[in-house]
Amino acid sequence: MAKRRTKERKKALRKYSSKTKKKVLPALTKKWTKREEIYLRNHFEKMGNIELAKKFKTTVKSVESKLRRMSLSRRRKSTIIPGEERKRKIEEILSERRQRLREEGRGDNHRPEAIAQFDRAVRLYYAEKYERAEAAFGKIVKDFRNTIDVVHKAKQYIKLCQEAS
């Protein structure tokens, strides 16, 4: 079968297209046997296209097109976490961190103070007193570093103050 293909290719190389005066190559696609199709159907999810191409002694493109013609596609592993599960995981991580801080004696005892300071800084920001607001947000970052969520928002507002002034 391989000899027949090479003979066909050699004949095609001798032929020229009348319009373009270029050599014409025939479409020599792989002829898939039933046995190969069954193997492909059973192993395409476990093996990659390169491995399958080596196994069948053909090109990767040939394997890809055969899989497409057979309507076979690999399942993609989704890395996107649904909303509720994502919220649950975030809360889990934060609660573990809070627990660790409490055990170390650096608990979140000053949260109400941090929120009050944050509120004052936001008022300064909206009053367009950007330098004073930036200083107030900086004080939050410095003094209340264990109050993670408030510090994170303060850092965002610091960037906004720097852009505005």
Residue 39 is encoded by which pair of tokens?
Answer: 């193997």
Q: Is 16 helix (H, G, I), strand (E, B) or coil?
A: strand
Q: How far is CA 72 from the centre of its chain?
A: 23
Q: What is the pLDDT of residues 72-89, one digit of tens each?
A: 888 765 556 677 887 888
Amino acid identity at 132: R
Q: What is the pLDDT of residues 93-138, one digit of tens each?
A: 888 887 777 666 555 567 888 888 999 999 999 998 999 999 999 9
- The reported pTM is 0.37
Q: Is 62 helix (H, G, I), strand (E, B) or coil?
A: helix
Locus of tokens 């093996």? 47
Q: What is the pLDDT of residues 2-48, one digit of tens each?
A: 555 666 666 655 555 455 555 544 556 778 999 999 999 998 888 88
- DSSP, residue by residue, 41-98: HHHTTTS-HHHHHHHHTS-HHHHHHHHHHTT--PPPPP-PPPHHHHHHHHHHHHHHHH
Each domain of the chain, given as residue ranges in start order, spans: 8-69, 106-164
Q: Looking at residues 41-62, what average pLDDT do you find? A: 89
CA angle 63, 67, 70 (to 5 degrees): 140
